[in-house]
Amino acid sequence: MIPILLMIPLGLAQAPDAVQAESRIDRVTVYSGYALVERRFSAEAGAPGPRAVVLGPLPLGAEASSFQARVDGGPAKVQGLQMQRRTGELASSDRDRLRAQLDGLAAEVRELRSEEQAIQAASGVLDAAVAALTQSDQLDPARLSQLLDFVSTQTHELDQRQIVREREERRLKREVADLESRIGGGGGAARPYQQARVNLFFERAGRAELRLQYLVRGAAWRPIYEVRLDPELNRVDVGLTGEIRQATEEDWEDAQLVLSTARPHVGLDPPELPQRWVSLSRPERARRGLMDLGYSAGDDSASMAPAAGAYLRLKDGEEAFVPAPVASVQDYGLSQQFLLPERVTVAADDEPKTFPLVQVPLDVRPERYVVPSLSLEVFLRAEVTSAADAPLLPGEARVFLGPDFLGKAGFPLLRPGDSTWLNLGLDPNLVVEYALVRDEREEPGVFSDTVRLHRAWETRLRLSASSARPVTVLIEEALPLSTDERIAIEIEGVKPEALKAEADLKDREEKGLWRWRVKLQPGQETAVRWGWKASFDEDLRPVFSEG
């Protein structure tokens, strides 16, 4: 996008001693909902004394109280800063430049329409060729096969051309709409903006380099993880990407970009406790209102993982490896910053732009998981543990298994050493069968009023012979727990033995969760059985429920 220069009406002209200064955006720190913009500019004085410069137009979304000016170098001192609201029109030269750009986009639109007609014509030729051959009295199988291969190839190429054309058409529509709004329909409509007046004092003649900083609304970023697992689930690569959107009324052109986890809009002061009391109501008086009751900082940085790179071919066939630039990470304990390795341009069009940040080191433990009483599907999942030196932000994870995109999952906040589960879909190589194998009722005897119910289930798992290697499956089931001492539950017929780690025994006692872990070779089948006995007085009517 072309930066817009505004002409200030004569009635709102700046003070005679103020000089309009050219500035450019040098650095932007993006938060959630805000961005901290830093502009660089310069000022000169031929003799010691006061000097004033004006910077603008600046976006209306910038908070007036956040503006600061400082001297990076030179003989000047900042004496004050004043924000002013102005209304201006597009300069005629800028309007002409935008109209020329709009004409260029119109020419691109015409080319896309010609491309669409060419694609339609080519599709018609293919349809006619197929129809002519199929209507022939003598169908040559070899010729038909060749034609079908040709049609398939050409159709695929036409589809790809159509996809590219549609994508370009959407881009052009956005750019045309943006230019038309900036031109203002040709009428040169006035646009409100802010400008900053910086008062300086030069201690001697010379040139000073300065920086203007302000907080502006309309910008945000979010972390997105790209999780790639190999088909055997023994390795995982996780890349952290930053997705940025900004509609701050100004483009960030060739700027150094920093993505921060700090939240400057939340504020630094904790809430104050209100005074709360109880009183008797006074109906004789009207109610006039409602009472509303309503890590340590550090400087160490790390790239967290080696980056991909490229090979340069040297003389005599030698090759040198040149690593690709990667973002650097600054962990300040209370917040993190990701500094992009190169300057970038981000237009103020509120469209998402993504930038790779770091490779995330994770340890992975793959697992197959099944609950036979609820589903005969075997679920693939992996427990991942963060091996990073700093916390990993919560965000969206896009999960790939080999070349296949499995879907999206939530990625929680992970501190160093924390673990989480990533669900990866279904494993088609495992077949599960589940059946009730015992359902008996023992009625009271001569000397007893006790009824006994016996129930048992069996699940069978079979691994396909085409599986590349053995797999381990975790089986989990919930067996009933009694909430009344008059009903006794005894577990019986468990085979093979269930897991007995401390956590497993605790879940078994408190929640009735039983777990088995079995290993299967390709083509192997195994069975797991469990059951329970319920004993109660014949006058009772126990209800077996889930919750």
3-state per-residue secondary structure call for 90-120? ECHHHHHHHHHHHHHHHHHHHHHHHHHHHHH
pLDDT at 232: 67
Among 248, 202, 214, which Cα is nearest to 68's?
214
Q: How confident is the model at residue 306 (pLDDT cuts 50, 70, 90)?
A: very low
Position 301 pLDDT exceeds 60: no
CA distance 3 to 250: 7
Position 330 pLDDT exceeds 80: no
8 A C-beta contact, residue 194 and residue 58? yes
CA distance 449 to 190: 93
- Counted residue by residue, the chain has a size of 547
In the block, residue with structure tokens 């896309």: 112
Main-chain phi, psi angles of 104, to 5 degrees: -65, -40
Q: Where are the beta strands (DSSP E) in 113-272?
A: 191-202, 206-229, 236-246, 252-260
Peptide bond into 496 cis (omega under 30): yes
Chain CA centroid to CA 308, Å: 22
Write down the pTM of the prediction: 0.59
Q: How many CB atoms lie within 10 A of CB 12?
A: 12
CA distance 427 to 369: 9
| DSSP-assigned letter for residue 523 | T
Position 27 pLDDT exceeds 90: yes
Among 102, 245, 82, 85, which Cα is nearest to 173's?
102
Q: How confident is the model at residue 254 (pLDDT cuts 50, 70, 90)?
A: very high
Q: 449's torsion region: left (phi>0), alpha (psi -120 to 50) or beta?
A: alpha
Among 105, 86, 88, which Cα is nearest to 188's?
88
Among 238, 269, 398, 416, which Cα is nearest to 336's?
416
No. of helices (H) and no. of strands (E), the chain:
3, 29
CA distance 330 to 302: 7
Class assignment of domain 103-183?
A: mainly alpha
Range 337-351 average pLDDT: 89
Position 316 pLDDT exceeds 70: no
Range 54-58 average pLDDT: 90
| pLDDT tens readout for residues 101-153 | 777 777 787 787 777 877 777 777 777 766 666 666 565 666 666 766 777 77
In the block, residue with structure tokens 């690593």: 323
Could you tell me what percent of the chain has a pLDDT over 70? 75
CA distance 341 to 348: 21
| pLDDT tens readout for residues 349-404 | 889 999 988 887 777 787 899 999 999 999 888 888 888 777 778 888 888 877 88
Residue ranges per structural domain of the chain: 6-92+189-219, 103-183, 430-537
8 A C-beta contact, residue 41 and residue 21? yes
Q: How confident is the model at residue 72 (pLDDT cuts 50, 70, 90)?
A: very high
